[in-house]
Amino acid sequence: MDFDKISKGLYLEISNELEVIQGGNSSVIKAKLKDNALIAVKIYKGEPSRVQRMLSREQSAISYLIENNFHNIPEILEVRKDLGLIVYKWIEGEPPIPNTKCMEAIIEMCLALNNINKKDGFENAVDAAFSIQDIEFQILERINLLRGEHTYQFAKTLCLSLEEKLQKYKSIFSKNHKLFPHTMSISDLGTHNMLYAEDSFSFIDFEFFGCDSVDKMVGDFLLHPHNKFKQNEIVKFKESISNKLGWQSENLNFTLPILSLKWAAIAFKRELKELEISYSEESIKVFLYTSKGMKYLEYFEYLISGEPVDSVSTFNQFTAKI
């Protein structure tokens, strides 16, 4: 990132850069304006079409939420589609500890989003899923992308493994369940996209926001590797969503396994790039033992083994036991 080039391109007058924070889908520059106000310059990563999609979605999501009286979200100061960035007012805080107060804030946000979904619609979330078949198509699409990006044999083997496990899932759960009810979803819900300061929680990163099934929202939350809540907090989360949104927690029996395959494909995309740099028999052995993608495949096998889901409710609880 060329900070001088970026700062000269903005309408806001920046005095100096203070910090660069790297994320999976974007980089954030903490900077100071000439009037000493702090800002966050969020620069989106990826191909130009992907950058524009994320930027536009986040801009429209934040505008929509502000119209619906949400205040614990970022404030936009300048949008520059030509530069692939949005400038926000800086929010003080750190990612919160996954405790009771944090879980209460997450539940409150989910309920508030569901309330606006009932009175006023918004476009579907990026990668929204309203049926099991939607998730299957998304997995197959990711497998095809992996095949196109990586030509060496080990990558092909992983793609075959994903396909075999997907077929195994379909042989067990033959019905194409429709996923209902629907809700407004952050689509990347968790402590990694929250900030805590002065007894207050803020939610950030809305580039995948939109209408989605409650099943997918809950499943993604349980599968995200950054959500390290204790079992009692996870129980509270599921009970609250079930009671307030009319969702059936039993659905996890057939949604969580197939979503774990999608998360395996997501993890493999990032991890195979790193493996390709130092491709060797030794690096493959390390990959087999340490890869999150492999752990998601193991979790899939656990979920379809007949063991009660509630004994290991999240991906993190599973990895802590193996």
Supply the DSSP symbol for 199: T
What number of other Cβ atoms are within 10 A of residue 103's Cβ? 21
Pairing of strands 182-185, 210-213: antiparallel
Q: Can you tell me the distance from the alpha carbon of 183 to that of 301, in angstroms, rounded to the nearest whole number?
A: 29
Structure tokens at 36: 């000493």
Burial class (CB in 10 A: 0-12, 13-18, 19+), 298: middle
With beta carbons less than 8 A apart as the criterion, state whether 14 and 34 touch: yes
With beta carbons less than 8 A apart as the criterion, state whether 159 and 143 touch: yes
Which domains are seen in the chain, by residue range? Answer: 3-89 (3.30.200.20), 100-321 (3.90.1200.10)
Structure tokens at 4: 């001088």
pTM value is 0.95
Digitized pLDDT (tens) for each residue of the chain, 322 residues in all: 677 888 888 999 999 999 999 988 999 999 999 999 999 999 999 999 999 999 999 999 999 999 999 999 999 999 999 999 999 999 999 999 999 999 999 999 999 999 998 766 799 999 999 999 999 999 999 999 999 999 899 999 999 999 999 999 999 999 999 999 999 999 999 999 999 999 999 999 999 999 999 999 999 999 999 999 999 999 999 999 999 999 999 999 999 999 999 999 999 999 998 898 888 999 999 999 999 999 999 999 999 998 765 557 899 999 988 7
* 271 contacts: CB under 8 Å, gap ≥ 6: 287, 291, 292, 293
Structure tokens at 73: 């979200």
